[in-house]
Each structure stands twice: as structure tokens, then as C-alpha cells.
Amino acid sequence: MRSLIDLHCHSTVSDGVLTPTELVNYAAEKGVRVLALTDHDDVAGLPEARQVAHSHGMQFIDGVEISVTWRRRTLHIVGLKINPEYPALAEGLEKIRAGRHVRAVGIANALEKIGIHGALEGAYEYSKGGIISRTHFARFLIEKGYAKDTKAVFKHYLVKGKPGYFEHQWATLEDAMAWIVGSGGVAVIAHPGRYDLGRVTMLELMHEFRSLGGRAIEVVTGSHTVDQYQEFAKIAHQFDLASSSGSDYHGKETYIDMAKLPSLPRSCVPVWQDWPEVKGLELEAH
Ligand code: AMP
Ligand code: MN
Ligand code: MN
Ligand code: MN
């Protein structure tokens, strides 16, 4: 069965290719019934997306995906049902966005050193007034012929140990959790299978996340393999955490399409279990 609830996707406010309006129209076309927009470190797309969602009779959830540094690693924490106007959250996100600019300058300088000029301006051109991310550098580098696709450009330029990588400190896990939980939202660990933490550290993360008020982990996501659905369903059960599901759609170029993911494994407690928005909705299709 395919799932018609999608709690993780991106618009041009962060590094997606569709505007909030285009994204929600696309989701509607694919049959999505409940959608959360979760742009990286920014909530600017939510009002527009909500309005368009309602025009389609779709349920809409305010979301965000916060960049966090935990034990020198980058993690993503999704906030669902957040209050985007909660001051600590709004100010915290603003700080992260300012940090993104500083990092972008660092990335551009690093690229300059290997003879790639104009990367800062080039990347900003792709960011179109939204946040600046490595995805925008990737698009610039592909345009200039340095790599053939997104996967290759990250592998050869934009990850740790490569010439265009620039170390950066994101928010702390404690702060990100306090912003989400304090705003009345539900904190969810995004795509835990992507972090390559090792079993012991992964379990320590789950423990710490839970003690900071974390409520769910993504079990089904465009970033996980089918085996990882089972692996993280078990971990969710073990830590008494709910499970979330989302495509992480950024546009045609990355990950999976919308409304293509399977339903959560039977053992999972859906993060939306008690949400009034989804009550009585049929969230599965063949
Ligand atoms: P940033 O938050 O600026 O460091 O950028 C992270 C974003 O880059 C992620 O949200 C993905 O959209 C994208 N990304 C990271 N690694 C890869 C990869 N290997 N291939 C494609 N996109 C990636
Ligand atoms: Mn992204
Ligand atoms: Mn992510
Ligand atoms: Mn994402």
C-alpha cells in the first residue's frame, strides 16, 4: 500500500526546485492528502503552502527541518505542528540562516583555491532569495561542467575531505529541541539511517533525543532502504518513539517522488495517530 501522508518535503524557500505553490499543486496532483512542508531552517513558505493546500481540500501541517551539530556531526531534526511565530524558534532559525551565509563564503573561498571562480554569486543565483545551501553550490558546479549530476558533485566536491567542504557549527540539539517543543511542535529525527553513527552512538542519540522531549523518528523516508524501514521500526519500538513518514522531495532531481512511499510497518505507532487533522482520512492507496 502507498502512503498518502507526506511529512517531509522542500520548496524554493530552501533547496527544493518548486515554489511552495507549485509544490503543493504537485502533491495534490499525486494524491497526497496530508502534507507538511519542512524547508531547511526556514518557515517562510508555510502561509502560502497552507493556503494552496486548503484550496485543494488537503490537510496541511506546519513544519521545518533544523540543521543541528551533535558530537561534531550534522543531524537534521524535523519539527511538525510547530508554531512558526514562536520567538525562540523564529530567532534561532534566523541565526542559522545567518550562519549559512558565513558558511557559503567559506565554501566559495575553498572552491576559489582550486580555481573555481564565482561560486558564491553562482550559488546565490540558484537560491533565488531562499536560504543558501550546498544544493545551490551543487547546481552551480553542475552548470559549469564540474560534475555530471548532484550525486557526483557532492561526492567529489561538497562532503567532508573534499575541496569544497567547509566545516560549520549548526544549532545544538538541545536548542533545536527546545525551539520545536517550546513552540508546541513535535520533534522528529529526520532520516536516521543517513548518519552512519554506528549502533552504540545511534542508541545514545535516541536516548538523548527522547530525554530532550523527542517524540518520533522517520522510519519510512526517501533516504532509507527497505531494510532500514524494519531496522528503524525496531528502534522506534525499543525507545517507545512514534514513527514518521516523508518523501524528502526536492524536485525531480533527488530522492523519491511524492506518494510513492509504502505505508509504515505494522508495528509502528504513526506520529499522526492522535492528530485531529487526519481523523477519518483514508491515508493509503493501492
Ligand atoms: P546543507 O544543509 O546546505 O549542508 O545541504 C544539505 C542538503 O544537500 C541536503 O538537504 C540534501 O538536499 C542535499 N544533499 C546532501 N548530500 C547529498 C547527496 N549526496 N546527493 C544529493 N543531495 C545531497
Ligand atoms: Mn535538502
Ligand atoms: Mn535532511
Ligand atoms: Mn529534507
Among 96, 133, 167, 250, say which to mutate for ligand 1: greatest number of ligand atoms within 8 Å of CB: 133
Name the nearest CA neighbour of 245 among 51, 27, 6.
6
State residue 82 phi and psi, 5-degree precision: -75, 160
d(C-alpha 40, C-alpha 210), whole Å: 22
d(C-alpha 38, C-alpha 66), whole Å: 9
List the pLDDT tens digit at each of the 286 positions of the chain.
999 999 999 999 999 999 999 999 999 999 999 999 999 999 999 999 999 999 999 999 999 999 999 999 999 999 999 999 999 999 999 999 999 999 999 999 999 999 999 999 999 999 999 999 999 999 999 999 999 999 999 999 999 999 999 999 999 999 999 999 999 999 999 999 999 999 999 999 999 999 999 999 999 999 999 999 999 999 999 999 999 999 999 998 777 999 999 999 999 999 999 999 999 999 999 9
Compute the distance from residue 163 Cα to the ligand 1 centre, in Å: 16
Q: How many residues does the chain have?
A: 286
Compute the distance from residue 115 Cα to the ligand 4 centre, in Å: 31
Residues near 195 by beta carbon (within 8 Å), at least 6 away in sequence: 73, 75, 202, 205
Ligand 4 being an ion, which residues bring their Cβ within 5 A of it? Answer: 65, 248
Nearest CA to ligand 1 atom 14: 135
The predicted model scores a pTM of: 0.98
